[in-house]
Amino acid sequence: MTPRRILIVGGGSSGWMAAAYLDAVLNRDGKRVADIALIESPDVPRIGVGEATIPSINHILSAIGINEIEFLKRTDGTYKQAIKYINWLDGEGESYYHAFGRFRHSPVDSTSMNWLMSDRSVPFSETISAQPVICESCLAPQMFGQWTLGTRLPYAFHLNALKFADYLCEIATSRGVQHHLDHVTDIEMTGEGDIAAVKTKSGAHIEADLFIDCTGFAALLIEKKLGVDWIDCSQWLLCDRAVTVQVPYEHNYPGYVRPNTLATAVSAGWIWEIPLQNRRAWGYVHASDYISENDAEKELREFIGPIADPFPVRSVPFKVGYRAKSWVRNCVAIGLSAGFIEPLESTGLYLSDLAAVMLSEHFPLSDEMEPLAYRFNRIIANRFHEILDFINMHYCLTRRNDTEFWREVQRPERINDRLKAKLDFWRIKPPSPADFEDQFFPGQPNTPLPSGGLQGDHRTPVDTSGVFSLSSYEAILYGMDFLKAECDQWFGPNRPASQVAAGIQEKLRVAPHSLPPHDLWLKRVVGMPEYPVSKQ
């Protein structure tokens, strides 16, 4: 068969992830299904603020054939076993973990109900996983030798997104993906309404059968040329900007590398801390309606302390929403051009990962694209709204009333209808595995998705737990004291102490002797430099 021509417009992590993954999956075992090219402008500045991923990234790395150790070396990467949330409930120093793993000790897992019937003296996350305590001890999820601790600890990564894109570019081009460094000046259309070719500043004319728009929020193809609507979701997620700063370890090294992300709630949003092998990165994700950029920078610097004083901040505006359709005609939007949900649960790279995987599964071998786009768009819409619900939940369960921002996010109109139906149902019956078979609960409106004037599947989205499972929901719900009043009513105020399963206790007993400190593992295995420990 004649290979189909794919042109990816725009580089960065999304563009090169799509290029490398599609090439690895479509052009394998001696077959060449697609001729892939990527064009990116040398004039568009790249933004690198440090990224965090979720465990699904391991699939795409494996499919491309990327060795994990080499990946960590090339991206300044570190391990991420969890997110620790600080000050989200009352703003008084409380914290909880969203860890990736769950210990199961029997076919019928009664851990959650046992915890609800207890006095909550042990945080919920510590009753289902050893990883919160392992993270507090700054231990790696790997051993120096052969793994001997039973079930492996799940993990994701922190990484330098710019270096990740460069690494993917190197891999993809070495396998035959064409790379054009040029600026797109015009987009040619066919009489039927498809994209025919792009014209460039250098005079090139590049034709393709399928175009992938990875031009970020500029959305040169999907919006500027095809006119596909952007659906705004800022009603439910108010943050629209981040100010970021990076402190290299040469200037200040604390003596450890956390194996988790920190997310600390502050006056008008939250601050991330992401550790790499050579620096720590902070970012204040905030709502510009509730704090000025200057005040956000001031609050961020006060939060970090004097170690950040010599280093400039970078402002990163963003918008929360999604494209009415990600695949229209012969154009597929991937990355920011398709949609974005704020960075709270590290799903930015995941949505690009998902789109590349789904496109490979729905790849058009002929000009008949509409049925494939129909299913692709449904899957992407379901997953986007699943993530939207989950992130929305972090905010609406807060009890903080110390600032206008935190009072606002609790208002009923800031809770989307799908999430409200879930929470109302779970106040009658705690969440359980059956709830994630097909999430459609009493009171959930059957409201079609906005069509943007386009044909397709506009049914209300269904949460299939494709990315956030029961354990993830429970970690946030119970970390935010959900069902406390109901449990007092159901089980009485005087309840037994919370219990930790024997399997978790055993793993925690041997972990300090078996798992090395995260920074030590990075130094010995991937070559992280030695840094003098700073006094501050």
Separation between Cα atoms, residue 409 and residue 398, nearest integer Å = 8
45 contacts 381 by C-beta, under 8 angstroms:
no
323 DSSP β-pair partners: 230
User: Which residues, including other chains, have CB under 8 Å from residue 239's CB and lie 6 or more apart?
Assistant: 269, 270, 285, 286, 287, 320, 342
> Can you say whether residue 346 is alpha, beta or left, with left for phi > 0 and alpha for psi between -120 and 50 degrees?
left
Separation between Cα atoms, residue 407 and residue 410, nearest integer Å = 6
Separation between Cα atoms, residue 10 and residue 15, nearest integer Å = 6
Q: Name the burial class of residue 55, with classes exposed (0-12), middle (13-18) and buried (19+) by CB atoms within 10 angstroms of its CB.
A: middle
DSSP E strand stretches across 123-268: 156-159, 178-181, 184-189, 195-200, 205-207, 210-213, 230-232, 241-248, 261-266
Task: DSSP letter for 139, please.
Answer: B
Catalytic residue among 80, 325, 420, 422: 80
Q: Name the burial class of residue 437, with classes exposed (0-12), middle (13-18) and buried (19+) by CB atoms within 10 angstroms of its CB.
A: exposed
Separation between Cα atoms, residue 74 and residue 277, nearest integer Å = 11
Separation between Cα atoms, residue 220 and residue 318, nearest integer Å = 17
- Other beta carbons within 10 angstroms of residue 110's beta carbon come to 10
Terminal-residue alpha carbon distance, the chain: 64
**Residue 43, both tokens:** 């004039």
Separation between Cα atoms, residue 405 and residue 289, nearest integer Å = 9
Residue 225 designated active-site: no
DSSP string, 316-372: EE---EEES-SEETTEEE-GGGTEE--GGG--HHHHHHHHHHHHHHT--SSS--HHH
* Catalytic site positions: 80
